Amino acid sequence: MNLVVSYDISEDKRRTKIHNILKSYGQWVQYSIFECELTDTEYAKLRSRLNKLIKSDTDSIRFYFLCACCHGKIERIGGEQPRDHTVFFA
């Protein structure tokens, strides 16, 4: 499955932990935004790991699922191309 993960984390230390977890699952494309290609099992593990870290009253993580058709229609204007397309899994 292809998905975009965005996050708004209120504390720097927790935000860094979230960012580091997401780096092992997908490509960092903008501040607080990752693009990931995951299996159902990988998604479940990622969601569980993130859920354990956040404070639900102040933090927010959103998962946007992209169908194959939509994923093929992603368009980018400006900014630097990602240099490393390698995806590492935790």
Coil, helix or strand at residue 56:
coil
Domains and CATH numbers, the chain: 2-71 (3.30.70.240)
Question: For 70-79, how does the pLDDT look when each residue is reduced to its tens digit (9 = 90+)?
Answer: 777 777 777 7
Return the higher-pLDDT residue of 76 and 26.
Answer: 26
pLDDT, residue 82, reads: 55
State pTM to two decimals: 0.80
Using one digit for the tens of pLDDT, what is the confidence trace for 39-64?
Answer: 999 999 999 999 999 999 999 999 99
Is 26:32 a contact under the CB 8 Å cutoff?
no
Please name the residues in contact with 53: beta carbons below 8 A apart, sequence gap of 6 or more: 14, 17, 18, 21
